[in-house]
Amino acid sequence: MNWKMKKIVIVLVFSLLSMASFSQETNAYAFFVNVVNDNFKFPLVGFVNVAKGNHKGLQLGFVNWNARNFAGSQVGYVNTIGNNLNGVQCGFVNTTIQQMEGAQVGFVNTAMQDATGAQVGFVNTALQSISRAQIGFVNTAMKKAPETQVGFVNIANRKENGLQLGFVNYADTIGDGIPIGFLSFVRRGGYKAIEYSFSEFFPVTVGFKTGVEKFYTSIYLAYNPSAGSTKSMFANGIGFGSIIPLKNAFFFNPEVHSMNTIEIKNNRQLTSFVPYFGYNFNYHFSITAGPSVVWSASFDKGVLLKPVFNIANFEIDDKNSIFVGARVNVRCRF
Protein backbone atom coordinates (compact mmCIF):
# COMPACT_ATOMS: atom_id res chain seq x y z
CA MET A 1 0.00 0.00 0.00
CA ASN A 2 1.56 3.34 -1.04
CA TRP A 3 1.60 6.45 1.14
CA LYS A 4 -1.24 8.15 -0.73
CA MET A 5 -3.55 5.18 -0.12
CA LYS A 6 -2.46 5.05 3.53
CA LYS A 7 -3.42 8.69 3.97
CA ILE A 8 -6.86 8.05 2.47
CA VAL A 9 -7.43 5.10 4.81
CA ILE A 10 -6.23 7.09 7.84
CA VAL A 11 -8.57 9.99 7.00
CA LEU A 12 -11.47 7.59 6.48
CA VAL A 13 -10.82 5.82 9.81
CA PHE A 14 -10.55 9.05 11.78
CA SER A 15 -13.64 10.40 10.06
CA LEU A 16 -15.63 7.30 10.95
CA LEU A 17 -14.34 7.36 14.55
CA SER A 18 -15.27 11.00 14.86
CA MET A 19 -18.80 10.23 13.68
CA ALA A 20 -19.37 8.11 16.78
CA SER A 21 -18.44 11.00 19.09
CA PHE A 22 -20.96 13.46 17.63
CA SER A 23 -24.30 13.89 19.36
CA GLN A 24 -27.60 13.55 17.58
CA GLU A 25 -27.72 17.34 17.08
CA THR A 26 -24.23 17.71 15.60
CA ASN A 27 -23.48 17.73 11.86
CA ALA A 28 -20.16 16.42 10.57
CA TYR A 29 -19.35 18.00 7.22
CA ALA A 30 -15.83 17.01 6.28
CA PHE A 31 -16.30 16.58 2.49
CA PHE A 32 -14.74 13.11 2.64
CA VAL A 33 -17.36 11.73 5.07
CA ASN A 34 -20.46 13.84 5.71
CA VAL A 35 -22.97 12.95 8.43
CA VAL A 36 -25.87 15.33 8.96
CA ASN A 37 -29.10 15.37 10.91
CA ASP A 38 -32.70 15.96 9.92
CA ASN A 39 -33.42 18.68 7.30
CA PHE A 40 -29.81 19.76 6.77
CA LYS A 41 -30.07 22.75 4.42
CA PHE A 42 -27.00 22.23 2.21
CA PRO A 43 -26.05 19.69 -0.45
CA LEU A 44 -23.97 16.70 0.61
CA VAL A 45 -20.85 16.38 -1.52
CA GLY A 46 -18.27 13.85 -0.43
CA PHE A 47 -17.02 10.28 -0.67
CA VAL A 48 -19.61 9.06 1.86
CA ASN A 49 -22.78 11.06 2.52
CA VAL A 50 -25.14 10.08 5.35
CA ALA A 51 -28.38 11.93 6.11
CA LYS A 52 -29.84 10.61 9.37
CA GLY A 53 -33.24 12.21 8.78
CA ASN A 54 -35.08 13.85 5.88
CA HIS A 55 -33.02 15.62 3.25
CA LYS A 56 -33.64 17.78 0.17
CA GLY A 57 -31.43 18.82 -2.71
CA LEU A 58 -28.32 16.91 -3.74
CA GLN A 59 -26.28 13.99 -2.48
CA LEU A 60 -23.16 13.54 -4.61
CA GLY A 61 -20.63 10.90 -3.61
CA PHE A 62 -19.45 7.33 -3.88
CA VAL A 63 -21.91 6.14 -1.20
CA ASN A 64 -25.10 8.08 -0.48
CA TRP A 65 -27.42 7.01 2.31
CA ASN A 66 -30.59 8.76 3.48
CA ALA A 67 -32.38 7.34 6.52
CA ARG A 68 -35.80 8.88 5.90
CA ASN A 69 -37.47 10.79 3.05
CA PHE A 70 -35.40 12.32 0.27
CA ALA A 71 -36.36 14.91 -2.34
CA GLY A 72 -33.84 15.76 -5.03
CA SER A 73 -31.00 13.85 -6.71
CA GLN A 74 -28.75 11.12 -5.38
CA VAL A 75 -25.73 10.65 -7.64
CA GLY A 76 -23.14 8.05 -6.71
CA TYR A 77 -22.01 4.45 -6.93
CA VAL A 78 -24.38 3.15 -4.21
CA ASN A 79 -27.52 5.13 -3.38
CA THR A 80 -29.99 4.12 -0.65
CA ILE A 81 -33.11 5.85 0.69
CA GLY A 82 -34.73 4.46 3.85
CA ASN A 83 -38.19 5.90 3.27
CA ASN A 84 -39.66 7.72 0.26
CA LEU A 85 -37.97 9.16 -2.84
CA ASN A 86 -39.26 12.18 -4.70
CA GLY A 87 -36.65 12.75 -7.36
CA VAL A 88 -33.85 10.79 -9.05
CA GLN A 89 -31.35 8.15 -8.05
CA CYS A 90 -28.45 7.79 -10.47
CA GLY A 91 -25.73 5.26 -9.72
CA PHE A 92 -24.54 1.68 -10.01
CA VAL A 93 -26.88 0.34 -7.28
CA ASN A 94 -30.02 2.32 -6.38
CA THR A 95 -32.45 1.26 -3.64
CA THR A 96 -35.60 2.90 -2.28
CA ILE A 97 -37.10 1.15 0.75
CA GLN A 98 -40.51 2.84 0.68
CA GLN A 99 -42.36 4.59 -2.15
CA MET A 100 -40.63 6.09 -5.17
CA GLU A 101 -41.83 9.02 -7.23
CA GLY A 102 -39.39 9.87 -9.98
CA ALA A 103 -36.69 7.72 -11.56
CA GLN A 104 -33.93 5.25 -10.83
CA VAL A 105 -31.11 5.12 -13.37
CA GLY A 106 -28.32 2.61 -12.81
CA PHE A 107 -27.07 -0.94 -13.18
CA VAL A 108 -29.29 -2.41 -10.42
CA ASN A 109 -32.45 -0.53 -9.44
CA THR A 110 -34.80 -1.68 -6.67
CA ALA A 111 -38.05 -0.12 -5.43
CA MET A 112 -39.40 -1.95 -2.39
CA GLN A 113 -42.86 -0.34 -2.39
CA ASP A 114 -45.10 1.31 -5.00
CA ALA A 115 -43.26 3.37 -7.60
CA THR A 116 -44.58 6.22 -9.75
CA GLY A 117 -42.04 6.77 -12.47
CA ALA A 118 -39.39 4.80 -14.32
CA GLN A 119 -36.50 2.42 -13.78
CA VAL A 120 -33.71 2.37 -16.35
CA GLY A 121 -30.86 -0.08 -15.85
CA PHE A 122 -29.54 -3.59 -16.37
CA VAL A 123 -31.69 -5.18 -13.62
CA ASN A 124 -34.85 -3.35 -12.57
CA THR A 125 -37.06 -4.66 -9.76
CA ALA A 126 -40.30 -3.28 -8.32
CA LEU A 127 -41.47 -5.44 -5.41
CA GLN A 128 -44.91 -3.83 -5.52
CA SER A 129 -46.33 -1.78 -8.42
CA ILE A 130 -44.65 0.59 -10.86
CA SER A 131 -46.58 2.92 -13.13
CA ARG A 132 -44.49 4.26 -16.02
CA ALA A 133 -41.65 2.22 -17.49
CA GLN A 134 -38.96 -0.36 -16.86
CA ILE A 135 -36.16 -0.38 -19.43
CA GLY A 136 -33.30 -2.81 -18.97
CA PHE A 137 -31.99 -6.32 -19.52
CA VAL A 138 -34.17 -7.94 -16.81
CA ASN A 139 -37.32 -6.13 -15.66
CA THR A 140 -39.52 -7.45 -12.83
CA ALA A 141 -42.75 -6.05 -11.39
CA MET A 142 -44.10 -8.28 -8.63
CA LYS A 143 -47.58 -6.74 -8.66
CA LYS A 144 -48.92 -4.32 -11.28
CA ALA A 145 -46.50 -3.82 -14.17
CA PRO A 146 -45.72 -0.44 -15.74
CA GLU A 147 -47.19 0.87 -18.95
CA THR A 148 -44.02 -0.19 -20.76
CA GLN A 149 -41.47 -2.92 -20.12
CA VAL A 150 -38.58 -3.07 -22.57
CA GLY A 151 -35.82 -5.61 -22.01
CA PHE A 152 -34.41 -9.03 -22.77
CA VAL A 153 -36.52 -10.64 -20.01
CA ASN A 154 -39.71 -8.96 -18.74
CA ILE A 155 -41.68 -10.37 -15.79
CA ALA A 156 -44.98 -8.98 -14.57
CA ASN A 157 -47.38 -10.47 -12.03
CA ARG A 158 -50.21 -8.37 -13.44
CA LYS A 159 -50.26 -6.42 -16.71
CA GLU A 160 -53.45 -4.43 -17.25
CA ASN A 161 -52.46 -2.41 -20.29
CA GLY A 162 -49.48 -1.14 -22.15
CA LEU A 163 -46.58 -2.96 -23.74
CA GLN A 164 -44.05 -5.67 -22.96
CA LEU A 165 -41.22 -5.68 -25.47
CA GLY A 166 -38.44 -8.22 -25.03
CA PHE A 167 -36.94 -11.53 -25.99
CA VAL A 168 -38.85 -13.37 -23.22
CA ASN A 169 -41.97 -11.90 -21.58
CA TYR A 170 -43.95 -13.36 -18.68
CA ALA A 171 -47.16 -12.13 -17.04
CA ASP A 172 -49.36 -13.93 -14.56
CA THR A 173 -52.49 -12.14 -15.78
CA ILE A 174 -53.04 -9.62 -18.55
CA GLY A 175 -55.82 -7.24 -19.55
CA ASP A 176 -55.52 -5.03 -22.61
CA GLY A 177 -51.74 -5.14 -22.60
CA ILE A 178 -49.73 -6.75 -25.42
CA PRO A 179 -46.49 -8.71 -24.94
CA ILE A 180 -44.21 -8.65 -28.00
CA GLY A 181 -41.17 -10.88 -28.05
CA PHE A 182 -39.65 -14.11 -29.25
CA LEU A 183 -41.52 -15.98 -26.48
CA SER A 184 -44.32 -14.44 -24.41
CA PHE A 185 -46.06 -16.41 -21.67
CA VAL A 186 -49.27 -15.31 -19.97
CA ARG A 187 -50.34 -17.71 -17.22
CA ARG A 188 -54.01 -16.65 -17.06
CA GLY A 189 -55.79 -15.14 -20.03
CA GLY A 190 -53.03 -15.83 -22.53
CA TYR A 191 -52.92 -17.92 -25.69
CA LYS A 192 -50.99 -21.21 -25.92
CA ALA A 193 -51.54 -23.84 -28.59
CA ILE A 194 -49.87 -26.67 -30.48
CA GLU A 195 -50.57 -27.10 -34.17
CA TYR A 196 -50.26 -29.55 -37.03
CA SER A 197 -50.03 -27.90 -40.46
CA PHE A 198 -50.10 -29.16 -44.04
CA SER A 199 -48.49 -26.73 -46.47
CA GLU A 200 -47.33 -26.55 -50.07
CA PHE A 201 -43.66 -27.05 -49.12
CA PHE A 202 -43.86 -29.23 -45.99
CA PRO A 203 -46.68 -31.74 -45.58
CA VAL A 204 -45.74 -32.23 -41.94
CA THR A 205 -45.23 -29.16 -39.73
CA VAL A 206 -45.58 -29.00 -35.95
CA GLY A 207 -45.83 -25.61 -34.27
CA PHE A 208 -46.07 -24.11 -30.80
CA LYS A 209 -47.81 -20.75 -30.28
CA THR A 210 -47.67 -18.52 -27.21
CA GLY A 211 -48.66 -14.97 -26.28
CA VAL A 212 -52.11 -13.42 -26.45
CA GLU A 213 -54.71 -13.59 -29.20
CA LYS A 214 -53.94 -10.03 -30.28
CA PHE A 215 -50.30 -10.96 -30.87
CA TYR A 216 -48.60 -14.33 -30.50
CA THR A 217 -45.38 -15.89 -31.71
CA SER A 218 -44.75 -19.37 -33.07
CA ILE A 219 -41.85 -21.78 -33.43
CA TYR A 220 -41.93 -24.59 -36.01
CA LEU A 221 -40.31 -27.85 -37.00
CA ALA A 222 -41.19 -29.06 -40.50
CA TYR A 223 -40.58 -32.24 -42.50
CA ASN A 224 -40.87 -33.08 -46.18
CA PRO A 225 -40.41 -36.80 -46.90
CA SER A 226 -39.50 -36.18 -50.55
CA ALA A 227 -38.58 -32.47 -50.95
CA GLY A 228 -39.25 -32.77 -54.67
CA SER A 229 -36.63 -35.50 -55.02
CA THR A 230 -35.66 -38.77 -53.36
CA LYS A 231 -34.14 -37.05 -50.30
CA SER A 232 -36.16 -36.03 -47.25
CA MET A 233 -35.72 -32.60 -45.69
CA PHE A 234 -36.22 -30.82 -42.35
CA ALA A 235 -36.72 -27.13 -41.64
CA ASN A 236 -37.27 -24.93 -38.62
CA GLY A 237 -38.71 -21.48 -38.30
CA ILE A 238 -40.50 -18.78 -36.40
CA GLY A 239 -43.57 -16.65 -37.00
CA PHE A 240 -46.12 -14.31 -35.52
CA GLY A 241 -49.83 -13.79 -35.94
CA SER A 242 -53.07 -12.37 -34.59
CA ILE A 243 -56.54 -13.82 -33.99
CA ILE A 244 -59.40 -11.45 -34.84
CA PRO A 245 -62.85 -12.75 -33.81
CA LEU A 246 -65.66 -12.71 -36.37
CA LYS A 247 -69.28 -13.80 -35.96
CA ASN A 248 -70.16 -16.90 -34.00
CA ALA A 249 -67.11 -19.20 -33.74
CA PHE A 250 -65.33 -17.91 -36.87
CA PHE A 251 -62.16 -15.84 -36.76
CA PHE A 252 -59.65 -14.19 -39.09
CA ASN A 253 -56.04 -15.18 -38.45
CA PRO A 254 -53.25 -13.51 -40.48
CA GLU A 255 -49.77 -14.98 -39.94
CA VAL A 256 -46.22 -14.35 -41.14
CA HIS A 257 -43.60 -17.13 -41.11
CA SER A 258 -39.93 -17.54 -41.84
CA MET A 259 -38.53 -21.06 -42.39
CA ASN A 260 -34.96 -22.21 -43.01
CA THR A 261 -34.00 -25.63 -44.31
CA ILE A 262 -31.67 -27.72 -42.17
CA GLU A 263 -28.90 -28.58 -44.62
CA ILE A 264 -25.12 -28.71 -44.67
CA LYS A 265 -24.42 -27.46 -48.20
CA ASN A 266 -27.37 -25.23 -49.08
CA ASN A 267 -29.11 -22.41 -47.25
CA ARG A 268 -32.70 -22.05 -48.44
CA GLN A 269 -35.34 -19.84 -46.91
CA LEU A 270 -39.12 -19.52 -47.14
CA THR A 271 -40.90 -16.33 -46.08
CA SER A 272 -44.67 -16.54 -46.22
CA PHE A 273 -47.84 -14.60 -45.50
CA VAL A 274 -51.03 -16.58 -44.86
CA PRO A 275 -54.44 -14.92 -44.28
CA TYR A 276 -56.10 -17.84 -42.46
CA PHE A 277 -59.80 -18.11 -41.72
CA GLY A 278 -60.65 -20.38 -38.82
CA TYR A 279 -63.43 -21.99 -36.84
CA ASN A 280 -63.46 -22.84 -33.12
CA PHE A 281 -65.18 -26.16 -32.41
CA ASN A 282 -64.77 -25.34 -28.71
CA TYR A 283 -62.23 -23.60 -26.49
CA HIS A 284 -59.57 -26.22 -27.11
CA PHE A 285 -59.92 -27.29 -30.77
CA SER A 286 -59.97 -25.24 -33.97
CA ILE A 287 -59.19 -25.55 -37.67
CA THR A 288 -57.77 -22.90 -39.99
CA ALA A 289 -57.23 -22.74 -43.74
CA GLY A 290 -56.20 -20.11 -46.25
CA PRO A 291 -54.14 -19.17 -49.30
CA SER A 292 -50.44 -18.53 -48.95
CA VAL A 293 -47.93 -16.28 -50.65
CA VAL A 294 -44.39 -17.63 -50.29
CA TRP A 295 -41.07 -16.08 -51.20
CA SER A 296 -38.57 -18.87 -51.85
CA ALA A 297 -34.94 -17.74 -51.70
CA SER A 298 -31.53 -19.37 -51.90
CA PHE A 299 -27.97 -18.10 -51.55
CA ASP A 300 -26.85 -20.46 -54.29
CA LYS A 301 -28.03 -20.43 -57.89
CA GLY A 302 -30.30 -23.14 -59.18
CA VAL A 303 -31.12 -24.79 -55.84
CA LEU A 304 -34.43 -23.13 -54.99
CA LEU A 305 -36.72 -25.25 -52.86
CA LYS A 306 -39.58 -26.67 -54.93
CA PRO A 307 -43.10 -27.05 -53.52
CA VAL A 308 -45.07 -30.27 -53.29
CA PHE A 309 -47.89 -28.39 -55.00
CA ASN A 310 -48.67 -24.78 -55.88
CA ILE A 311 -51.42 -22.70 -57.47
CA ALA A 312 -49.12 -20.24 -59.24
CA ASN A 313 -45.40 -19.60 -59.63
CA PHE A 314 -43.67 -16.29 -60.44
CA GLU A 315 -39.97 -16.76 -61.06
CA ILE A 316 -37.88 -13.67 -60.27
CA ASP A 317 -34.38 -15.03 -60.98
CA ASP A 318 -32.37 -18.19 -60.33
CA LYS A 319 -32.20 -17.37 -56.62
CA ASN A 320 -35.71 -16.05 -55.92
CA SER A 321 -39.24 -17.12 -56.76
CA ILE A 322 -42.78 -16.36 -55.56
CA PHE A 323 -45.28 -19.18 -55.07
CA VAL A 324 -49.00 -19.06 -54.35
CA GLY A 325 -50.26 -22.08 -52.45
CA ALA A 326 -52.64 -23.10 -49.66
CA ARG A 327 -52.42 -24.36 -46.08
CA VAL A 328 -54.64 -26.04 -43.50
CA ASN A 329 -54.01 -26.37 -39.76
CA VAL A 330 -55.46 -28.21 -36.79
CA ARG A 331 -54.84 -26.59 -33.40
CA CYS A 332 -55.18 -27.65 -29.80
CA ARG A 333 -55.30 -24.81 -27.29
CA PHE A 334 -54.36 -25.41 -23.66
> Strand, coil or helix: what is 259?
strand
What pLDDT does 98 receive? 94
The percentage of the chain sitting over the pLDDT mark of 90, rounded to a whole number, equals 72
Q: How far apart are CA 151 and CA 142, in angstroms?
A: 16
Q: Which amino acid is at 295?
A: W
Q: How many residues make up the chain in this entry?
A: 334
Domains in the chain with CATH codes: 1-98 (no CATH), 116-189 (no CATH), 191-333 (2.40.160)
Which H or E run contains 3? Answer: helix 3-21
Q: In angstroms, what is the C-alpha Rg of the chain?
A: 29
- Average pLDDT, rounded, for the chain: 89
Which H or E run contains 16? Answer: helix 3-21
Question: Is pLDDT at 156 greater than 60 in this prediction?
Answer: yes
The pTM of this model reads 0.78
Sign of CA dihedral 195, 283, 157, 176: positive
pLDDT digits (tens, 9 = 90+) for 216-271: 999 999 999 875 544 678 999 999 999 999 999 999 999 999 999 988 777 789 99
CA atoms within 13 A on the CB side of 131: 10
pLDDT digits (tens, 9 = 90+) for 49-64: 999 999 999 999 999 9
What one-character DSSP code corresponds to residue 40? B
Exposure string of 150-163, with b = 16+ CB inside 10 Å and e = fewer, is bbebbbbbbbeebb
| 188-214 mean pLDDT | 95
